[in-house]
Structure 1
Amino acid sequence: MVMRYITTLIFVVVASCVGYSLYSTYDSNPWTRDGQVRAYIVEVTPRVTGQVTNVLIKDNSQVKKGDLLFEIDQSVYQAALNKAKASQKQASALLKKARDEERRAVNLEKRAPGAVPVLTLNNLGNAVETARANVEVMQAAVEEAALNLQFTKVYAPTDGYITNLQLRQGSQVTANTPVVALIDEHSFWIEGFFKETDLKGVDDSNQTLVTLLSHSEYVLEGQITSIGYGISMQDGSTGNSLLPVVNPNFEWIRLAQRIPVKVKLTSVPDDVQLRIGMTASVKIMKGSESK
């Protein structure tokens, strides 16, 4: 009987020691399984409206900065450029005419003072200035038309991956409306959500250990780059009549809120492809700093 009590006591002591050790480890190095892979998504947006005549990309393909993604019908914009150039020539001709008329009047006034009224000379000078301004306006119109013609070809703004491609040849695109999602391949990071009670003593110099659910054989090293300063508030949001919305239910057990912690991986193995939304576990090494 005594041995049974001694054995039970030993098991309790060992369990307590193990539990305390695990708690101490977790307290000094917070850990969460609530992590996700994130990256910046560039919304490729055409700057002109028209019909797509050529699509040079495929869904889930990799592109490099400057690669041609798709082309928009150029005919309308080429015609607009030709029209602007013709208007520019016309404005230049009118400027030449105004200058010639002013020059003749000035020369006549020099040979026979008083032959040309002052008002006429002023009007001729104003006509030259107006014609010169019209030439500048037409020059700007030519530049704008040339830019619009260039915008019919849409290029990749950064290295990345095309995903969820819905664009097809013959589609009608509208200026300033996104049509292609491009994931910036240089912007991947891990977003870990930690309980607010775990962030005491954590700063952006701490190192982290990250394990991806899809590649559990790797333990990736990273560094905290930032800690979120706020999360969405459920109670207190504005409802009808500008009054705050308050949840009538209150749990006796107060749950700690989760704060996002942004982690940048220092290196990624060649056979690991990061994808937005992948699940990750993140462990913060308190007291460790980047060198």
Structure 2
Amino acid sequence: MSLSSVIPVLLTLGAVAVAALFGWFAWDVYMGRPWTRDGMVRAYVVTVAPEIAGRIVKLPVADNQMVHKGDVLFEIEPADYQIALDAARAQVARDQAALDYARANEGRQATLRGEGWVSKDVFQQSASSLHQLQAAVAADQTAVAKAELNLSRVTVRSPVNGYVTNLLAQRGDYANIGQNLVSLVDSDSFWVDGYFEETSLGRIRDNDPTTIRLMGYSQLIRGYVGGVARGITVVNAQPGQGGLASVNPIFTWVRLAQRIPVHIHIDQVPDGVRLVAGTTASVEVGR
């Protein structure tokens, strides 16, 4: 057999071998190692609302600013709450003075009654006044504790390490109780949800290593599988107008696989990669 006739055979065998190698690689990527481009960066968002009402007099943070746990986010005008505390303390002092007098008077009444100078009714009135004032002082002390608590709440601090986001409050705004004024993206809570097809779940195990690629970055993020969601919303289970199941007809020959959230813990974030909740991620399990 001449060399000219062998070369085409060798080229054909080489092309077949390369095609088989690429086919095996594609099978390993698509079937051997579960992956999805339908992933999303997630993070917990902490909403901060005042527990007292008043005008905002200090707002030392700015939108997108990094804050640490315990940093001041805003401060509410304290004058009204300081006045309420002073009034509560004055009430305690007044009722305490009356209680001291009633206690001394009750002691004198007890001595005189023992000597027969005071009737039983008069003594009982003195004892009743003493008990009422004791209750009044206890209530006053509770009012002082409440006023001190309210005064401590004029300064609102960050409960987590995180980033201020979508800040719309301004100094001078009037803050109402329970009104969301500051939202914080918890910087210690980032994770990735990979929405894998249900046909891939059998090859995903807890603690499997994962590789995450964010759209817009070439660097890879390392993580591991933290768990698989145990349920998703079933649209056909929603009752219709008559209370019966509302089943949507399906006319396709091939039924699409459901996508199930898989929680991915993040181990390492390369330098230069900024995690942003809601951004797109590709996730591969097994490497």
Alignment of 1:158-197 (within 5 A): 158-197=160-199
Shift in Å, 1:221 = 1.2
| CA shift digits 1:232-258 (9 cap, x unpaired) | 221111343544332244433211111
Label 1:244 to 1:84 Cα distance change in 2 as closer, same or farther (>3 A): farther
- Normalising by structure 1, we get a TM-score of 0.88
SS of structure 1 residue aligned to 2:168: coil
| Deviates further, 27-36 or 14-23 | 14-23
Within 1, Cα distance between the matches of 2:128 and 2:206?
65
| Deviates further, 41-50 or 8-17 | 8-17
- 1:49 counterpart residue number: 53
Within 2, Cα distance between the matches of 1:68 and 1:141?
27
Within 2, Cα distance between the matches of 1:80 and 1:240?
55
Within 1, Cα distance between the matches of 2:181 and 2:244?
39
Query: Over aligned residue pairs, what C-alpha RMSD do you find?
Result: 2.5
- 2:3 counterpart residue number: none
Of 57, 64, 69, 2:68 maps to 64
- 2:153 counterpart residue number: 151
Within 2, Cα distance between the matches of 1:250 and 1:82?
75
Within 1, Cα distance between the matches of 2:101 and 2:237?
71
User: Is 1:230 aligned with 2:231?
Assistant: yes
- 2:252 counterpart residue number: 251
SS of structure 2 residue aligned to 1:221: strand
- 1:213 counterpart residue number: 215
- More strand by proportion, 1 or 2? 1
Within 1, Cα distance between the matches of 2:94 and 2:185?
47
User: Is 1:107 aligned with 2:108?
Assistant: no
User: Is 1:37 aligned with 2:38?
Assistant: no
Alignment of 1:86-165 (within 5 A): 86-110=90-114, 112-113=115-116, 115-165=117-167
Label 1:163 to 1:27 Cα distance change in 2 as closer, same or farther (>3 A): same
| Deviates further, 203-212 or 91-100 | 91-100
Shift in Å, 1:126 = 2.9
| Deviates further, 248-257 or 36-45 | 248-257
Label 1:99 to 1:222 Cα distance change in 2 as closer, same or farther (>3 A): same
Shift in Å, 1:14 = 5.9
| Deviates further, 142-151 or 92-101 | 92-101
Count matched residues: 282
Within 1, Cα distance between the matches of 2:29 and 2:62?
48
- 1:272 counterpart residue number: 273
Q: 2:223 is matched by which residue type in structure 1?
A: G
| CA shift digits 1:96-150 (9 cap, x unpaired) | 122122111011123x13x333343333223222211211111111111111111
SS of structure 1 residue aligned to 2:101: helix
Shift in Å, 1:6 = 11
- 2:79 counterpart residue number: 75
Unaligned runs of at least 5 residues, structure 1:
none
User: Is 1:85 aligned with 2:85?
Assistant: no
Q: 1:85 is matched by which residue type in structure 2?
A: R
List structure 1 runs of 4+ shifted beyond 4 angstroms.
3-17
Within 1, Cα distance between the matches of 2:136 and 2:228?
56
- 1:28 counterpart residue number: 32
| CA shift digits 1:32-82 (9 cap, x unpaired) | 011111111010111111111121111111111111111111122122112
Within 1, Cα distance between the matches of 2:37 and 2:224?
17
Within 1, Cα distance between the matches of 2:243 and 2:213?
45
Label 1:154 to 1:26 Cα distance change in 2 as closer, same or farther (>3 A): same
Within 2, Cα distance between the matches of 1:192 and 1:282?
6
Within 1, Cα distance between the matches of 2:88 and 2:241?
54
Shift in Å, 1:212 = 1.2
Shift in Å, 1:13 = 7.8
Within 2, Cα distance between the matches of 1:93 and 1:16?
98
Percent sequence identity over matched residues? 37
